[in-house]
Amino acid sequence: MKPLPPGWTLDSLLENAKASMFGMGGEAVCTECGTSHQGLEPDVTDYHCDECGADAVQGAEELLIPYAAQDGGATTAKDGGDHAN
């Protein structure tokens, strides 16, 4: 599993994904430098980052998938979510 983007936590990615799912904005994040990008689809993968030049911009939802799969899809009290069990 890849490390989180610089300057981001699971909580901040989860909040970002929620915002994008409910039409309240949302950002895509460069996994190399941590720069946020507005106005992209929430499921964007490998988009070009104008800040560092890497093709490493991912939607928050995409970044959370490996963590959800590791946790069986359930959120925990640690991330402030509702329990799925």
The model's pLDDT over 15-45, given as tens digits with 9 standing for 90+, comes to 888 887 777 666 899 999 999 998 888 788 9
- More confidently predicted of 15 and 82: 15
The answer, yes or no, to whether residue 77 has pLDDT greater than 90, is no
- The reported pLDDT for the residue numbered 71 is 59
The answer, yes or no, to whether residue 72 has pLDDT greater than 70, is no
User: Could you tell me which of 57, 64, 51 has the C-alpha nearest to residue 19?
Assistant: 64
Tokens for 26?
A: 């949302």
